[in-house]
């Protein structure tokens, strides 16, 4: 069986703390999709530490939220809000070490909701942290009506979703 090809997703948000392409204080996460799952690779800088050389748990949670969010956005082609998420911290994660993340949908709960999982792995491929979240899905019109994004941002985002 041939593995599905991974393709990079365009970075469309400049300032998001997690995925913003131009945010000098952010994580600058980028994503790839094979149509069934998404993945991301990054090395967390020391400025995001908690204890001494360990990545702060809040930063790991942000990375997991972002991984699940883009998984939901890309695989459902909808705008999303995180309704809730649970995180399990299984192994300490060190700053300055290469990490990989993956995300996938476990259940399409309804037309408007999806359950998504994300994992953070270390260089050995061991899962260091994982999350499960519930995501509410919105059409562009519904999201626009919530006043979260300007009209032109909505259209740029919608064009980059699939």
What residues make contact with ligand CO8 under the rule CB under 6 A?
13, 16, 19, 65-66, 69, 81-83, 110, 112-113, 136, 138, 142, 146
Least distance to ligand CO8 from the beta carbon of 29, Å? Answer: 10
Please give the biggest Cα pair distance in the chain: 46
Residue 44 or residue 80: which is nearer to ligand CO8 going by CB? 80
User: Considering beta carbons, is residue 66 or 119 the nearer one to ligand CO8?
Assistant: 66
Q: Which two tokens stand for residue 128?
A: 């260091």
Give the start-end residues of each E strand in the chain.
7-8, 32-33, 38-43, 79-89, 98-110, 113-121, 127-138
- Min CB(93)–ligand CO8 separation in Å: 20
Q: Which is nearer to ligand CO8, 16 or 38 (CB)?
A: 16
- Alpha carbon distance 152, 105 (integer Å): 28
Please report how close the Cβ of residue 124 comes to ligand CO8 at its closest, in angstroms. 29
C-alpha distances in Å from residue 25, one per residue of 14, 16, 44: 12, 10, 12
């Amino acid at each position: 069986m041939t593995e599905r090809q991974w393709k990079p997703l365009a970075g469309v948000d400049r300032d998001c703390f997690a995925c913003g392409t131009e945010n000098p204080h952010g994580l600058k996460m980028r994503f790839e999709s094979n149509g069934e799952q998404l993945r991301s690779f990054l090395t967390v800088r020391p400025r995001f530490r908690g204890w001494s050389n360990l990545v702060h748990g809040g930063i790991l949670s942000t990375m997991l939220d972002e991984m699940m969010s883009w998984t939901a956005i890309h695989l459902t082609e909808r705008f999303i809000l995180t309704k809730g998420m649970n995180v399990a911290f299984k192994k300490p994660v060190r700053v300055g070490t290469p990490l990989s993340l993956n995300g996938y949908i476990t259940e399409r709960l309804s037309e408007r909701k999806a359950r998504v999982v994300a994992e953070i792995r270390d260089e050995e491929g061991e899962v260091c942290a994982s999350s499960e979240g519930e995501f509410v899905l919105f059409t562009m019109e519904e999201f626009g009506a919530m006043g979260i994004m300007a009209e032109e941002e909505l259209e740029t985002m919608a064009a980059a979703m699939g």
